[in-house]
Amino acid sequence: MTDNSNTCVIFAAGEYYSDTPIVPSGAFIIAADGGLDHARALDMSPDVVVGDFDSLTGERPTQGEHTIALPPEKDDPDLLSALKIGWSHHARLFHIYGALGGRIDHTISNIQLMALLAQHGAVGFLHGNGSIVTAICDGALDFGENNVEPGRMVSVFSHSDTSLGVSERGLKYEVDDMTMTSTRVNGVSNEFLNGAAAHIGVEHGTLVVTFPSEAPLPAVSWHHTFEGDLGSLGTKVSSALAKHERQSR
């Protein structure tokens, strides 16, 4: 039996397209705000519900130990709050649905959060519209043999200002020891090779990687251990707003 005690599945409030969320047995389940509507539609019972509930269309959950209500004017987006809760329950592998598409600012924010996880030695996968977005810091993603159809793209971006020692092997275009930057786009539109394993790695830096959802999920490895956590859960009104209100009086 697979041990999924370090796995967290998060239902966010964005687009689900035709994707059906996969929830491994034993995974910790979190509904972030309007993600509770999707969890209910799939007859899922989250372990925790969190958010300010501005995007929830169904009945608001009753306050209790499994519901964490947040103020609407806060510093952390609902997904970051969900990630912090999952982290506090020892999750280091996160599968997130409903975090791509819809508002572009939310999509960018959610991709940044995958980089945040990577920089703490955790792994996040954003699932949506037949694609998956993840990030890796000072490490590698190794994909097993696949049967992905030609024309389904694998793209690599540097989230860091500079990423050193970037390698892509077992793909249509192979590179080794390449330097990538956050403003030079030179990793778009690569492809898996049918029946071949693939490797995407970086010696120093953080990469954002997109790949087709039908590809095998990669094994993740790192060149060193990581320290720190995602920080404490923010349950108060933004200090910036509080400062603004004081100045307005």
Q: What is the pLDDT of residues 134-167, one digit of tens each?
A: 999 999 999 999 888 888 999 999 999 999 999 9
Q: Percent of the chain having pLDDT more than 70?
A: 95
Q: Tell me if 114 is assigned to some domain.
A: yes
For range 23-31, the mean pLDDT: 96
Instruction: Compute φ and ψ for 105, nearest 5 degrees.
Output: -65, -35
Instruction: Specify which residues 156 forms β-bridges with.
Output: 209
Q: Tell me if 1 is assigned to some domain.
A: no
Listing from the earlier edge strand, what are the strands of the sheet with 28-32? 67-69, 48-51, 28-32, 7-11, 93-97, 123-128, 131-137, 206-212, 153-158, 190-191
For 156-197, how does the pLDDT look when each residue is reduced to its tens digit (9 = 90+)? Answer: 999 999 999 999 999 999 999 999 999 999 999 999 998 999
Q: How far apart are the first and last CA of the chain?
A: 61
For 73-109, how does the pLDDT look when each residue is reduced to its tens digit (9 = 90+)? Answer: 888 899 999 999 999 999 999 999 999 988 899 999 9
Q: Tell me if 27 is assigned to some domain.
A: yes
* H or E element at residue 28: strand 28-32
Q: How far apart are CA 211 and CA 83, in angstroms?
A: 22
Query: Which pLDDT belongs to residue 71?
Result: 85
Q: Tell me if 68 is assigned to some domain.
A: yes
Q: Tell me if 2 is assigned to some domain.
A: no
Q: How far apart are CA 24 and CA 95, in angstroms?
A: 10
Q: Tell me if 148 is assigned to some domain.
A: yes
Instruction: Specify which residues 180 forms β-bridges with.
Output: 163
Q: What is the CATH number of the domain that holds 211?
A: 3.40.50.10240
Q: Is the pLDDT of residue 245 over 60?
A: no
Containing structural domain, residue 54 = 7-248
Query: Which pLDDT belongs to residue 94?
Result: 98
Identify the CA nearest to 95 among candidates 144, 187, 154, 26: 26
Total domain count for the chain? 1
Q: How far apart are CA 232 and CA 2, in angstroms?
A: 30
19-23, 118-122, 129-133, range with the lowest pLDDT: 19-23
What lies within 8 Å, CB to CB, of 112 at 6+ separation is 159
Compare 91 and 246 and report the one with higher pLDDT. 91
User: How does the average pLDDT of the chain come out, rounded?
Assistant: 92
Query: Which pLDDT belongs to residue 238?
Result: 77
Phi-psi region of 58 (alpha: psi -120 to 50; beta: other; left: phi over 0): beta
Q: Where are the alpha helices (DSSP H) in the chain?
A: 35-41, 78-88, 104-118, 239-248
Q: Tell me if 168 is assigned to some domain.
A: yes
52-66, 71-85, 233-247, range with the lowest pLDDT: 233-247
